[in-house]
Amino acid sequence: MAQMRMRNAKGGNSSEIEKKIKRKCPETELHLAWLQTAPGLLLVTLLACGTSLWLYLSTADADITETLVGRGELVSPQPRVFAVPCSEDYDQHKRFPGCTPQKCGRAVTDGLVSREEAQALRRLAERGLALAGSEGGASILDLHSGALSMGKQFVNIYRYFGDQIGEVFTQEDFRLYRDVRRRIQDTIAQTFGLDVSLLFLTKPTFFSRINSTEAKTQHDEYWHPHIDKVTYGSFDYTSLLYLTDYGTDFTGGRFIFMDKDGNRTVEPRAGRLSFFSSGSENLHRVERVAWGTRFAITVSFTCDPAHAIADPSLAAV
């Protein structure tokens, strides 16, 4: 009973207040009535849409993605070059005149490695990785050090498989790797205006195989943003040679430059080479692979002779 009374009293109070408001501002009612007419509804709809669009654009800005090179394009013979100002990272390392990046940027070419060569390199990677592979979604094979993902860790193929490795890889495989490495080195030197003899292959250099299997260890988490010069130390110029096609062999797995004003992507394609200066001007990540298998090789170069490595070879066996 008491509650009923209270509700009645409250109801009485609120209608009193409404009456007072209407008495003080009769135009409020008029405005509300006008909004229910056809032009009024149109105006309300336009205002609502405008506000949503503004909200969308102002929050989506940071995620705007520009495709630098799409899967369907063929960039050949000259690389497509995108200049970016060099970061100060290189000041914290010893400088090597004629090599240390003074011009920074990224470039992509489809004219350096043929689809057939890419396929031969992919077969090489498949054969090597078939010997073991990670339990999670990312496996690597480093022909220089011999590191191969196995379960949750790595083994050294040269030690673990001994002479048998000569039955998995041929001299021709290593010749092809060497030949492609030389062409990449020449192209990097030409594009960045370097003396090619001052540029050296550095480690790690590895084949990667990525699929959508759930990560089991940190080694499987390939998608984190990173700076190669920070992650790998010796890198001055990074190159990535893709061995499979985005959209056909796999989905997701695009390469993403994470610039302050938005993302810029490179869509992998078999035989496509992407290369860039390794400092923080080229912060990047790999989009998670959603479906299929992505193969690539990371081949990188240093200006510091102390970090130079020899080409991988079967002589290591």
Ligand X SMILES: O=C(O)CCC(=O)C(=O)O
Instruction: Say how many C-beta atoms besides its own lie within 10 A of residue 290's C-beta.
Output: 11
**240 lies in the binding site for ligand X (CB under 6 A):** yes
DSSP assigned state of 130: T
DSSP assigned state of 282: G
Of 216, 234, 231, which Cα lies nearest the Cα of 286?
231
Of 138, 262, 127, 237, which Cα lies nearest the Cα of 186?
237
Binding mask 224-253 for Fe ion (x = CB under 5 A): ----x-------------------------
Residue 183 annotated in active site: no
136-156 CB burial, b ≥16 within 10 A, e <16: bbbbbbbbbbbbbbbeeebbe
Nearer Cβ to ligand X, position 100 or 298?
A: 298
Please report how close the Cβ of residue 121 comes to ligand X at its closest, in angstroms.
14
Strands (DSSP E) along the chain, which ranges? 65-69, 80-84, 104-109, 133-134, 138-141, 147-151, 153-156, 200-210, 237-242, 250-252, 255-259, 262-266, 273-277, 284-286, 289-292, 294-302
* Residue 298 site contact among Fe ion, ligand X, none (CB < 5 to 8 Å, cut-off depends on kind): ligand X
Interface pick for ligand X out of 298, 299, 302, 303 (rule CB under 6 A): 298
**228 lies in the binding site for ligand X (CB under 6 A):** yes
Please report how close the Cβ of residue 93 comes to ligand X at its closest, in angstroms.
18
Nearer Cβ to ligand X, position 16 or 66?
A: 66
**208 lies in the binding site for ligand X (CB under 6 A):** yes
**234 lies in the binding site for ligand X (CB under 6 A):** no
Please report how close the Cβ of residue 43 comes to Fe ion at its closest, in angstroms.
52
Nearer Cβ to ligand X, position 165 or 284?
A: 284
Q: Could you give the maximum distance between any two Cα atoms of the chain, in Å?
A: 99
Of 105, 110, 126, which Cα lies nearest the Cα of 71?
110
**202 lies in the binding site for ligand X (CB under 6 A):** no
Nearer Cβ to ligand X, position 228 or 245?
A: 228
**112 lies in the binding site for ligand X (CB under 6 A):** no
Please report how close the Cβ of residue 141 comes to ligand X at its closest, in angstroms.
13
**255 lies in the binding site for ligand X (CB under 6 A):** yes
* 123: three-class secondary structure by DSSP: helix
Please report how close the Cβ of residue 53 comes to Fe ion at its closest, in angstroms.
36
Helix%, strand%, coil% for the chain, nearest 5: 40, 25, 30
Q: How many residues bind ligand X (CB under 6 A)?
A: 8
Nearer Cβ to Fe ion, position 173 or 228?
A: 228
Catalytic residues: 294
Site of interaction with ligand X (CB under 6 A): 208, 228, 240, 255, 284, 286, 296, 298
